[in-house]
Amino acid sequence: MKPFTFTLRQEPPQRVDLSPLTPDRLAGKSIAQIEEIEIGVTRISTKVGDIFKISEGDLKSLRYEGGSSRFDLLGAKLLPGFEIHVEGDVGAQCGRLAKGGKIAIAGNAGPHVASGNLGADIEIKGDAGDFLVGPLAGELAGMAGGRVIVRGNAGARAGDRLRRGIVVIEGDAGEDLGARVIAGTIFVLGEAKGRIGYLNKRGSIVLARAGCFGSTYVDCGPQELTFTRFLARSLRDHSASAADLLSRKLRRYGGDTAVYGKGEILTPD
C-alpha cells in the first residue's frame, strides 16, 4: 500500500512544529481535520493545509515529499512499528523522545537530532547539526536507546550525555564529541575535531582515526573483543563502514579517568 504523503506546497513562512503529525496522532482524522491542525509556533497561524498537500495512504508509513530546515520536532514521540520518510531536510529535534519506529531523512537535519530518543532507528543521509542525540538544556541525560546513523558530518557536541544506544557518524564530527557520555556507543568514521570524550563515564567511542585523547585517557593496549565482532554483525546492514571498522584490531584507551573512568575509546592499532 502506498504511504500517507505530505507534499510540500511552499517553504513554511515560520518554523513549524510537526510533532502532531505522527501516525498514531493522525489515526482516525479526516484529511479536512488534518489540514486544520495548527503547526505554527508564533501568533501568526500556520496550518497543515497551508504548507502541505495531503494524499491518503497507509498510516503505518508517512512520507514527506520535500523538506525544510524549518521542520522542527519531526517524528517526536514516534511509536514502534511506524515509519517516517522525508525527501528533504528537517529542522531541530527530529525524532525527539521517539519510543521506536524508523525515521529516514534524505537531506540534512538541524540540531538535537534524536534528543531523548528511546528506541527509534534514525537515519540522516546528509549532515546533522549540533548536539546530535544530546539532551535539551536542563536535562540530565541524552538519548537512552535506539540507533542513529548520520551518513554525512555531525556538528559540535555530538553524543552529548548519551545514556544508551548506538550513534554512527560516517563523516566528521565537530568539537567535543562524546562529552559527558554516561554509556552507549558512538562511532566516527571520519575525523573527530578537538577534544574527545570529555568526562566520559562508561561509554564506548569508536574512532576510525586515532588522535590525542589527553592525559586522562589511559592506553590499555590492542584488544580482540567478542563484543566488537558481535556489534559488527549487528551493524553490517545499517553501516557497512562502521562494521568494517569494528572488524579491525582495536586499541583500547580507558577513561575518562577525570571522572568515573570506566568508558573507553577504541581506535585501530
Partner 1 sequence: MPDIVRNGVRIDDNFAEAFPMSGTGILITAPNAKWARQAALTMTGFATSVIGCGCEAGIDREVPPEETPDGRPGVRALLFAMSSKDAEKQLVNRLGQCVLTCPGSAVYSTVAGEFEIKVGDAVRQFGDKWQMSKVVDSRRYWRVPVMDGEFFCEGKVGLTKKSVGGGNLLIMGADWDKTMRATEAAVAAIDGVADAIAPFPGGIVRSGSKVGSQYKGMSASTNDAYCPTLRGVTKSALDEDIGCVLEIVIDGLTDNAVREAMRAGLHAIIEMGPEQGAKRVGAGNYGGKLGPFHYHLKDLLP
Q: Is 223 in the site for partner 1 (CB under 8 A)?
A: yes
User: Of the candidates 25, 202, 248, 251, which one interacts with partner 1 according to CB under 8 A?
Assistant: 202
User: Of the candidates 2, 9, 53, 233, which one interacts with partner 1 according to CB under 8 A?
Assistant: 233
Nearer to partner 1 by Cβ, of 64 and 82: the residue is 82
C-alpha to C-alpha distance for 60 and 62, rounded to whole angstroms:
7
Contact 64, 84 (CB under 8 A): yes
User: Of the candidates 45, 234, 249, 269, which one interacts with partner 1 according to CB under 8 A?
Assistant: 234
Q: List the beta bridge partners of residue 63.
A: 5, 85
DSSP per-residue string spanning 136-196:
PTT-S---EEEEEEESS-B-TTTTTT--EEEEEESS-B-SSBTTT--S-EEEESS-B-S-B
User: Of the candidates 48, 182, 207, 231, which one interacts with partner 1 according to CB under 8 A?
Assistant: 231
Q: Is 164 in the site for partner 1 (CB under 8 A)?
A: yes
Cα–chain-centroid distance for residue 53? 27
Q: Is 227 in the site for partner 1 (CB under 8 A)?
A: yes
Q: Is 248 in the site for partner 1 (CB under 8 A)?
A: no
Q: Is 257 in the site for partner 1 (CB under 8 A)?
A: no
User: Of the candidates 194, 230, 240, 269, which one interacts with partner 1 according to CB under 8 A?
Assistant: 230
Nearer to partner 1 by Cβ, of 8 and 78: the residue is 78
**How many positions of this chain bind partner 1 (CB under 8 A)?**
21
DSSP per-residue string spanning 71-104:
EESTTTTPPTT-EEEEES---SSTTTT--S-EEE
